[in-house]
Amino acid sequence: MKLEKSDVNSDYRRWLKSYLRDLKYKDVSKNTFVLYNRILNILKDFIENQDEVTKLSEIDKEFFLDFIESQEENSRNKVFSKKTKQLYLAILKSFFVYISDNNDEFYTFENEFKMPIKGANKSKKVKYLLDIEVEKIIDYLQNRIKSKGLYYDYIYSFGIKLMLFGGLRISEVLQLKLEDITISQLRDDNGIEDMYEIELKNTKSGEEQIALVKIKDIEDEMIFFDNLKERDEYIFVSKKNETRIDRSNYYIGVKNIMNKAGVDKKGLHIYRHTCAMQLYRKSKDILVTKEKLRHSDIKTTMIYAKAEKSDIAKAMR
C-alpha cells in the first residue's frame, strides 16, 4: 500500500481499516481486538482534532507522547500508571510497525518508539512558552544575526518567527517560497502598510489560506533572503546541496537554539501554541484567535486559550 494518498485523516483511516482486518485473522482474543480498536479509534479522533501534522509521515515520537498525555489528562484520576502508558505504547507500536512493514515506500516509524516510560506524574506538560522565555529566544536569535549573521542563523530565526508571530505550522513553514510572502494592503491607524500576507498552498484542510505577520517581526530575515534567492525558490533549503530541510533536522536545530537561549522546553508546535495564547490574552477574542490559527472548528481553538499566572493575578486585582 502507498504510505500516503491524501490527507492525514484519510490515510490514517485507510491504514486502520487494513490493520484491523489483518488483526481479525490473527490469533488474538476478542477482548484484545476490542481494546486495540478502541485506543486506535481514540487516536483517530485525536488526529482529526489536532492541527500540527498534515501528513502521516509527520507523526513522530513527540506526537505519540502528546497523545498519551492528552488521554492521561482526560482520565478520571488525571494520571496514568506506568503499566497503562506501556499498554498505549504497545498498541501504537503494533499499528505503526504494521504500516512500516507494509508501505511501498519502506517508510518506518520504528525509531519513534525508542523512548523511556516513566511512572505516574501528576504534573501536566507545558504547551506554550512564557513571556520571559519568548524574550530569551528572540534575544538569542537577534544577537546571533547581529554578531555573525550566518545562513543558518537566518534560516532558524525566520522559521521560529513565522511560527511564533504568524501562527504557521512547521509543515507550512518548510514549504514557503519568497513569492508566497507579499506586503498586505491592510493599513494601521496611521495609514501605513504594516503586514505581510503569507499565501499557504499546502494546508491541513487542503485549501489555500492566508496568514498575517507584522512586517517589523520578520523584516531582517526578508531582506536577507530577498538578496539571496529568486522569488520562486524555496526558502528553507540546506546551504550545501540546496535540498529541502526536513522537519526532523529543523526540530534538532530549534532544540539546540532553545537550550542555548536557556529555555528548558522543546518542540516546534509550542511556537504556534504560544502565538495563539498570546493573541487570545491580548484580544480576549476567541473568534479572532480561531481565524488567526485558521481552524475550522472553534473547539480546537479553545485548547489554546490559556491564561498565565500573571493574567489571573491581574484579573483578581
Confidence of residue 190 (pLDDT cuts 50, 70, 90): very high
CA dihedral 169, 173, 174, 175 (to 10 degrees): 100
What is the per-residue pLDDT across 6-17, written as a single tens digit (0 to 9) for each?
999 999 999 999
Q: pLDDT > 90: what percent of the chain?
A: 52
Q: What 3-state DSSP class applies to 249?
A: helix
DSSP element (H, E) containing 210: strand 209-214
pLDDT (average), residues 140-165: 95
Q: pLDDT > 70: what percent of the chain?
A: 89
Mark residue 197 as left, alpha or beta (left: phi above 0; alpha: psi -120 to 50; beta: remaining): beta
Most confident of 226-235, 246-255, 269-278: 226-235
Domain boundaries of the chain, sorted by first residue: 8-113, 131-316
More confident residue, 105 or 289: 105
Spatial distance between the Cα atoms of 213 and 166, rounded to a whole number of angstroms? 5
Query: Does the pLDDT of residue 305 top 90, yes or no?
Result: no
Q: What's the pTM? A: 0.62
Query: Does the pLDDT of residue 276 top 50, yes or no?
Result: yes
Spatial distance between the Cα atoms of 127 and 267, rounded to a whole number of angstroms? 9
Spatial distance between the Cα atoms of 281 and 172, rounded to a whole number of angstroms? 25
Judge contact between 258 and 265, C-beta under 8 A.
yes
Per-residue model confidence (pLDDT) at position 121: 46
Most confident of 98-102, 115-119, 167-171: 98-102
Termini Cα distance of the chain:
60
More confident residue, 48 or 214: 214
Task: Compute the mean pLDDT over every residue in the chain, rounded to the nearest whole number.
Answer: 86
What is the per-residue pLDDT across 192-227, written as a single tens digit (0 to 9) for each?
999 999 999 866 666 788 999 999 999 999 999 999
Judge contact between 293 and 304, C-beta under 8 A.
yes
Query: Does the pLDDT of residue 95 top 90, yes or no?
Result: yes
Confidence of residue 124 (pLDDT cuts 50, 70, 90): very low
Q: Give me the CATH code for the 131-316 domain, please.
A: 1.10.443.10
